[in-house]
Amino acid sequence: MTPLAQAALRRFAPRTPLAAPQDLTLPSPGSTTVRDLVNRYIPAILRDFFALPLTRLSPARARELARLQQLVAELSASEPGAIVSLVRRPTFSVLVRCLTHEIAAPKPNPQADKLAAELVEQGLFDLALMGASVPEIVLDRPITRLASQVHDVTLELDAPAMAARFSSGSVELTLTSGERFTYRGDVDVELPPSVRREQPFPRLFAQTSLALRDNNPLALFEAHPDKDGNAIDLGGHSVDAWASSLRGAFELVEKFLPEIADEMRLVLQQVVPVGYFDERHLSASYAEAIGTVYMSLHPNPLTMTEALVHEFQHNKLNAFLYFDAVLTNREDELYASPVRPDPRPLRGVLLAVHAFLPIARFYERLIASGELASKDEDLRKRLKAIVEVNREGCEVLLPNARPTALGRSLFAEIARLNEEFAGY
């Protein structure tokens, strides 16, 4: 790691040690737990980015990545806001985390070069469109696509461009025809016939977008026995239908779990659509993709609300697990899960309970409001079922957990919340 990179890390480094989480499951009034966690996660991703060992890449990719590392280190001093905006995006951080894993593999892997190339393109395109002070940087190789989630734009090229020149506020593409085309983020700019501008990240609410493009390399890897990956699929429904459903779900979170809604505004950046099902709901999240959730569409607004809260809770816990394992139990110790047909490591049971406890609070408050009085009996049945899932999960989790020092307070919070629902 260069001295310039080390200086950048010192600039962003947290000033206090990571504290034991007191309200990571259901935030207390005025909680700063998740904000503090985000403020640690950003410099941690930056550290991983600077620590990528270039010797495990091809010379060409290593040179490109080294140049991006240098640029990010320089901008960390002069334009730190631009670097925070870049690094906090899941479209950037998921590539860093996956590339870290691929480079650490025992044998050289061509996938590492592919991820490095995408990471460089992603970083330079985002910084250029931000208007950050990017000196002219040329990628003298084929470019097939440039995408930016924060700017809601993808440039798709029918034939790969021969080169791309990035600078502050623009990117110049040298097309196969020899024509040079400069893009500055203009919505109405006339494009060459071989270039298509798409807007695949329509805004849903707060900073959260519907992601019609997903660069998560792990998206098609699925651990759930009833699913087969998380390919983008609108399930035959329009973008407007998806947006309406997800906005309605967030509005219910705002109304009955406002403390969770505040955390979503801070963390949740994109929802990836993965199909439509009348009789079931499928959702997922990945530890490496903090800020992203995968959800199917369902006709029941309460089902959508449950799924949104559930997967967001996984994001929160996965962010904390990046810093502390919480459990010292081995991954090959398998236990019955209250929500999965397959035996799970205890961490899987923890993820389930941590996700369902706020949902129980949601139904408790919804019932108390009387807003859906005509469905009161169904709501109470659902609340009772969720409380039972949490009770069964805690009966497995709490006696078998061997927590870390920081994990003890998380388990104490879970035990307390589970006890609060004991009367249902």
Residue 295's identity, in one-letter code, is M
Q: Is the pLDDT of residue 188 over 70?
A: yes
Residue that terminates a domain, selected from 175, 199, 223: 199
Which residues on neighbouring strands pair with residue 403, listed in sequence order?
A: 327
**DSSP 8-state class, residue 107:** S
Domain range enclosing 73:
20-199
pLDDT, tens only, 21-75: 999 999 999 999 999 999 999 999 999 999 998 888 999 999 999 999 999 999 9
Please give the pLDDT value at position 318: 97
**DSSP 8-state class, residue 17:** P
Please give the pLDDT value at position 226: 54
129 belongs to a structural domain: yes
Residues 218 and 347 in one domain: yes
How far is Cα 38 from Cα 33, in angstroms, rounded to an integer?
9
Under the banding of pLDDT at 50, 70 and 90, the label for residue 108 is: low
Token pair belonging to 8: 């950048």
The residue assigned the tokens 């098609």 is 220
Residues 182 and 91 in one domain: yes
Residues 386 and 366 in one domain: yes
Residue that terminates a domain, selected from 199, 221, 238: 199
14 belongs to a structural domain: no
For the chain, percent of residues with pLDDT exceeding 90: 83
Please give the pLDDT value at position 194: 92
218 belongs to a structural domain: yes
Residue that terminates a domain, selected from 163, 179, 199: 199
Q: Is the pLDDT of residue 89 over 60?
A: yes
Count of domains for the chain: 2
Q: How wide is the angle at C-alpha 318 spanned by C-alphas 300 and 145, nearest 5°?
A: 80
Residues 124 and 139 in one domain: yes
Please give the pLDDT value at position 399: 96
Please give the pLDDT value at position 220: 74
Nearest to 183 by CA among 175, 192, 171, 194: 171
Residues 350 and 269 in one domain: yes
Cβ-contact 125, 169 below 8 angstroms: no
**pLDDT, mean of residues 309-324:** 97
- Please list, in sequence order, all residues whose beta carbon lies within 8 angstroms of the beta carbon of residue 106, skipping any fewer than 6 positions away: none
Token pair belonging to 134: 């990017």
Q: Is the pLDDT of residue 225 over 60?
A: no
Residues 188 and 147 in one domain: yes
> pTM score > 0.95 for this model?
no
15 belongs to a structural domain: no
Which residues on neighbouring strands pair with residue 137, listed in sequence order?
A: 166
Residues 249 and 280 in one domain: yes
- Please list, in sequence order, all residues whose beta carbon lies within 8 angstroms of the beta carbon of residue 177, skipping any fewer than 6 positions away: 192, 194
Residues 181 and 53 in one domain: yes
Residues 149 and 50 in one domain: yes
How far is Cα 391 from Cα 423, in angstroms, rounded to an integer?
11
Q: Is the pLDDT of residue 186 over 90?
A: no
How far is Cα 243 from Cα 209, in angstroms, rounded to an integer?
9
Please give the pLDDT value at position 285: 94
Q: What is the enclosing helix (H) or strand (E) of 189?
A: none
Please give the pLDDT value at position 105: 72
pLDDT, tens only, 282-315: 899 999 999 999 999 999 999 999 999 999 999 9
Residues 155 and 245 in one domain: no
